[in-house]
Chains A and B, each alone.
Chain A
Amino acid sequence: MSTKALKEIKCELVVVGGGPAGMAAAVAAYEEGLRDILILERDDNLGGILRQCIHNGFGLHRFGEELTGPEYAYRYEKMVREYGIPFMTDTMVTSISEDRVVTAQNSKEGIFKIHAGAVVLAMGCRERPKGALNIAGHRPAGIYTAGTAQKFVNMKGYMPGKEVVILGSGDIGLIMARRMTLEGAKVKAVCELMPYSGGLARNIEQCLNDFGIPLMLSHTVVEIHGNDRLTGVTIGKVDEMRRPIPESFEYIPCDTLLLSCGLIPENELTKDAGISLDRITNGAVVDGERETEIPGVFACGNVLHVHDLVDYVSEEASIAGKAAVRFIRGEGAKNVNIPILADGQIRYTVPQKITEITPTRVYFRVADVYRDRKVTVTCGDEVLYQKKKQKLAPGEMETVELSADMIANAEKIGKALEFKLV
């Protein structure tokens, strides 16, 4: 062990993660006039998961044109480079303390500490691994999360297999069904446990229907076959309680099983810092500024809650970046404390509370597929907002714009804002 003292530096704003959220937060902070910024990224370049998302469909909201993932990331990387915002790649943050001391390490600097004026958490999310899913059978080669397969195919140029079954119909799974098919694999089925897909309708159309790949709703993989290499899977239909129905079991020979079973915000650092997490989002509890329980620590992007569109990640990160600058300058004005409650049909909201009387966009997700409902916001007996929706689905994030007047009104009433479907 080295006897050399740890290197300690000071920085006004430390951004943990150089993906779309981290870059957008840093860019927003720079554009507010802040210069002393440092982005810490554990991969060998900026861009995060977008680097391997080579399909198009990104950026319609943010840039008004359809970009591929690497192109979207490059727009922000260019801004970071042109502004001269400092960043360190191949650098891993190992802890963040309550007084905003960030400990990080890389092979050049060793372990070092940064005393930060403010911190933006932008670590993104990771895939739910198969271990959490408890499928019977051996553990042969040929089972990957969809994102791992995506990295193999798109970044390394290796095909993980030839005959594929995909479990889970999240967007990454759908995108990989098309990608593997275009590269010559036979995708035999996409099984989805739920009676609806968690992916975007456009992806079911252009990734499955275009290639005649069956989407088997209310189906799951019940057994894995093969010792050294996967030889097949048994799939089955599930009943309303999501229990497999033995009469429906069907064997499908395949050499590859891809798992697209959801994403989990990567919040180990957040938890270690003592920040409490929302039970539903698995991300920090934040206010409209995306500030966590610890003053000066903000969170944005998929580490806060899993987004469908990177455009919304950029938007949220920009809110966090600007708020961090206000905090550093002592301009943060928290004058109210209004909790936001979700009725269960609305699964969660972000933010979970409002601390400032200012127009606030609230993102939310619903628990099931609902038709012809009214998204309603009440405070006490008063209805502050109501909007008809033909269809709401868990896979699609929704928003409500709360005006400053509504928030001031809620403050006067002195009760929580309740988000519900009626």
Chain B
Amino acid sequence: MKRELTCIVCPRGCQLACELDDKGAIISVEGNICPRGKTYAVNECTNPQRVVTSTVRCKDGEVVSCKTSTTIPKGMMFDVMKAINTTLAENNVKIGDVIIKNVLGTGADVVATSNR
């Protein structure tokens, strides 16, 4: 089976042509100009991952930007959004502060990406 992907690792956006076996495992990847493209293709076909970036409300009502510290399973993006949107951060939150530790057991923390 063949699958066409657009690599999202960097702004170049390589077009990847993947060859998969019956179980969906990667046999070959073409079109990537760096090794990260191949890793991306393998993950994307077996366990697609994304970083979620959003904002979290602080106790005073203002918002501060945040992200997951590592990628999370793509299928959990809306669950992680819900977790972020039901959390209140401290008013003095600083860039890099952990707002939710190990969000939904994904192993990723939700961390602030700007200063209040």
Contact = CB atoms under 8 A, between A and B. Distances in A.
B62 A70 contact: no
Interface in A227-256: none
A71 B95 contact: yes
A74 B11 contact: no
B67 to A, nearest CB: 6
Sorting the interface of chain B by its residue count into under 10, 10 to 19, 20 to 34 or 35 or more gives 20 to 34
A183 interface: yes
Contact of A157 (B9, B57, B67, B81): B57
A209 B54 CA distance: 19
Contacts of A71: 95, 113-114
Given A70-B95, A157-B63, A182-B81, A54 B8 contact: no
Given A68-B65, A154-B55, A156-B63, A74 B10 contact: no
B51 interface: yes
A60 B50 contact: no
B13 to A, nearest CB: 3
Given A154-B63, A182-B78, A68 B53 contact: yes
A219 interface: no
Interface in A54-84: 54-57, 60, 66, 68, 70-71, 74
A60 B65 CA distance: 20
Contact of B113 (A68, A157, A205, A309): A68
B11 A308 contact: yes
B6 interface: yes
B8 A182 contact: no
B115 A56 contact: no
A70 B65 contact: yes
Nearest to B51: A56
A74 B6 contact: no
B101 to A, nearest CB: 19
B63 A200 contact: no
A272 to B, nearest CB: 34
A153 interface: yes
Interface residues of A, number: 28
B58 to A, nearest CB: 9
Contacts of B77: 182
A155 B81 CA distance: 17
Contact of A309 (B11, B15, B51): B11
Contacts of A183: 54, 81, 85
Given A153-B55, A182-B81, A201-B6, A70 B11 contact: no
Given A71-B113, A157-B57, A205-B6, A54 B65 contact: yes
A153 to B, nearest CB: 7
Given A74-B95, A157-B62, A206 B50 contact: yes
Contacts of B8: 202, 205-206
B29 interface: no
A187 interface: no
A210 B6 contact: no
Residue picked from B50, B55, B66, B78, most chain A C-beta under 10 Å:
B55
Nearest to A51: B114
Interface string B1-26: 00001111111010100000000000
Contacts of B5: 205
B82 to A, nearest CB: 10
Given A60-B10, A70-B113, A183-B81, A154 B52 contact: no
Contact of B55 (A54, A74, A204, A210): A54
A37 to B, nearest CB: 23
A409 B62 CA distance: 59
Nearest to B9: A202
A308 B53 CA distance: 20
A74 B54 contact: no
Residue picked from A183, A202, A206, most chain B C-beta under 10 Å:
A202
B74 interface: yes
A62 B115 CA distance: 22
Contact of B53 (A54, A200, A201, A205): A54
Interface in A158-191: 182-183
Contacts of A51: 114
Contact of A201 (B13, B50, B113): B13
Contacts of B9: 202
A70 B114 contact: yes
A66 B40 CA distance: 15
Ranked nearest first, the 3 interchain pairs of A and B with the lowest CB-CB distance are A201-B13, A70-B114, A157-B63
Given A56-B51, A70-B65, A157-B61, 16 more contacts: A54-B55, A54-B67, A54-B113, A56-B53, A57-B11, A60-B11, A66-B51, A68-B65, A74-B114, A157-B55, A157-B62, A200-B11, A202-B8, A202-B13, A205-B8, A210-B74
12 contacts: A70-B65, A74-B114, A154-B55, A154-B65, A157-B55, A182-B52, A182-B78, A200-B13, A201-B13, A201-B15, A206-B50, A210-B74
